[in-house]
Amino acid sequence: MSKHLIIGVPAYAGTVKLATFKALLTDCTTLAIGGWDIEIVDTISGAEIDTIRNKLISYLASHEKATELIMVDHDVCWSHNDLLRLLAVPLDGNPSIVGGVYPKRMDPIEYPFMPMMDDHMQPLYDPDLHMMRCEHIPGGFMRIPKFTAQSIIDAGIVKPYAQVFNKIEPKGYTCYSFCEKIWQYNEATGENHRLSEDISFCKRVLEAGGEVYAHPDIPMAHIGDKMWCGSKLRGNSARHSDASNAPGGDHSLGGSSAGEAVE
């Protein structure tokens, strides 16, 4: 059976961070040796990230051969084989998604995800997959199976819309509103909040009957004027804060500590 993976990189400036490139190069080489056909799509245009993510997921849904999409932001990185670990989570037959959780580029470190909680306010884990069940996760290191995208379309949760394509990007497919900025009223504060396109996409996955999973064993880094590294899903405990467990610590980032910012 042919295995065709789309890696969608919304690098609208035409560049990626060196650590992102190293992480992609290492894992894509391993995947290619393992028999995967890899298609890297970085030419998709749009002034806003939701437009680009819509095109990427819609392209997956229409693709004749592709079975998976992994969206990779141009400024995140991970350790060797972590992209393969996303692909190894058995999501077959379930319109779900799974991703790694990286820190925001801010101090003190925060994480853009919301785990589901049990009656004792502890995070919920899937008993079979051992993945953390979430209300939403960020879209910058997210695996989306084709079945998930098609299920959302078939359920009528998203709408097709007219889209403009540039000269060099993939075209000739219908674009759907998978990712949109949405408004949510907070009764406690009496204010409206504008939620991200990643949150709205996760809501659509849940509405289609799927699950949103965060992989608990993928520490990541987010790169700006410095590098923010962390592993929130494992609590940033001391035993996970040595250099060997930092994202890319074995081949790219060196001795950064999980949960700390590296100047």
Say if residue 134's pLDDT is above 80.
yes
What residue type is 209 in one-letter code?
G
- CA-CA distance, 90 to 238, in Å (whole number)? 30
Mean pLDDT for the stretch of residues 190-200: 89
Checking if the pLDDT of 244 tops 50, the result is no
Better-scored residue on pLDDT, 183 or 145:
145
Task: Write down the pLDDT at residue 194.
Answer: 81
As a whole number of Å, the end-to-end CA separation of the chain is: 45
For residue 234, what pLDDT is reported?
A: 56
pLDDT above 80 (res 240): no
The amino acid sitting at 202 is C
Averaged confidence pLDDT in the chain: 86
Per-residue pLDDT, averaged over 31-51, amounts to: 92
pLDDT digits (tens, 9 = 90+) for 97-124: 999 999 999 988 889 999 999 998 999 9
In the chain, the largest separation of any two C-alpha atoms, in whole Å, equals 54
Q: Which of the four CATH numbers 3.40.50.1450, 3.40.640.10, 3.30.200.20, 3.90.550.40 does domain 3-262 have?
A: 3.90.550.40
Q: Domain limits of the chain?
A: 3-262
Token pair 């009957």: residue = 209
The per-residue pLDDT for range 197-233, each reduced to its tens digit, is: 999 999 999 999 999 999 999 999 999 988 999 876 6
DSSP readout, 179-192? S--EEEEETTTTEE
Distance CA 149, CA 61 (A): 6
pTM of the model: 0.87
- What is d(CA 52, CA 144) in angstroms, rounded to the nearest whole number? 15
Q: Is the pLDDT at 56 greater than 90, yes or no?
A: yes
pLDDT band at 162 (very low <50, low <70, confident <90, very high): very high
